[in-house]
Amino acid sequence: MGAAVGGKGAFSDINVTPLIDIVLVVLIVMMVNIPIQIEEMGLKLPSAQVTPPPDVPITDQLVIAVYAPESEGADPKIALNRRIMGVEEMKYEITRRLRPMANKNVFIDAHHDVLYANIVDMVDLAREAGAAQVGLAKMKEEGPLAATEVSSGSGMPRGVLLGSPQVRGEITEVVADRSIQPLKGNLEQCYLQRLAAVPTLTGSIGIYAEIGPQGELLKPPTVESDSTGDAELVKCVETLIPSLRFQPLGEGKTAWVRYPILFSPG
């Protein structure tokens, strides 16, 4: 800083260069010392580990084989998945195996010498056991594959087996099955009482019910089929089925259900 002497008066001129240098040094020091902030963003990268796909439940394909009669007028032997068994055991096995299956299909493979009536009987048996679709295999000159084993017995436990419901309309199989489960104990009591009088009593009963929008029964449920031949058992079942209860289906919606029920003395 300097001062001028004369008649023009005094003035001052500040040298700001050193101040600017100091500010620049301070600024550089601050820039060096300030931590670098990095904005983080969540990012999900594909894992290097390959996740195996979920297991797909393996279900059996059910095939009823109807073999050529061994003699004229004799009934043909039948087999389920190449295992020879009787009619009642086959109905039980199909009913039992269909319950957990997603696709409730049954195929019939018959010899060309088998009477058409015998094939119809197997179609009816599969339907009564709960099959949604019954297909006929293409006939082969040599007939169905030969059986690999023969059932040693009925294999049916003592008691009542509720088969897969057949449903139409605005109701699912799961909902329909849930509706009849509360009756199983009483159905078993009906059967065991009759079994005491008829130790060999076996067979099946089919129940039919129509359901309205509010879950009400549009008409009294009926026993539409019976292979037990026991009028007292049928009468006892008929007293129970009016107590079937269904959840509401929705405005204007209806449905019908068919229940196959098997009875076995064990």
Indicate whether this model's pTM tops 0.85: no
Answer whether residue 55 shows pLDDT above 50. no
Of 132, 155, 178, the residue at which a domain comes to its end is: 155
Residues facing residue 68 across a β-bridge: none
Residue 14 lies inside a defined structural domain of this protein? no
End-to-end CA distance of the chain: 122
How many folded domains does the chain comprise?
Answer: 2
Tokens describing residue 217: 């029964």
**Tokens 């089929």 belong to which residue?**
225
Local confidence band at 210 (pLDDT 50, 70, 90 cut-offs): very high
Residue 35 lies inside a defined structural domain of this protein? no
pLDDT at 56: 42
Domain that holds residue 136: 58-155
Of 155, 170, 205, the residue at which a domain comes to its end is: 155
Answer whether residue 101 shows pLDDT above 70. yes
Do 142 and 100 lie in one domain? The reply is yes
Mean pLDDT of 116-135: 88
Do 180 and 235 lie in one domain? The reply is yes
Q: For residue 59, report the phi and psi dihedrals to the nearest 5 degrees.
A: -115, 150
Torsion of CA 216, 239, 202, 223, to 10 degrees: -50
Type of residue numbered 256: W
| Range with the poorest average pLDDT among 11-20, 24-33, 234-243 | 11-20
Q: How far apart are CA 215 and CA 238, in angstroms?
A: 20
Residue 13 lies inside a defined structural domain of this protein? no
Residue 4 lies inside a defined structural domain of this protein? no
Name the percent of the chain lying above pLDDT 70: 82
Residue 121 lies inside a defined structural domain of this protein? yes
**Tokens 């983080």 belong to which residue?**
40
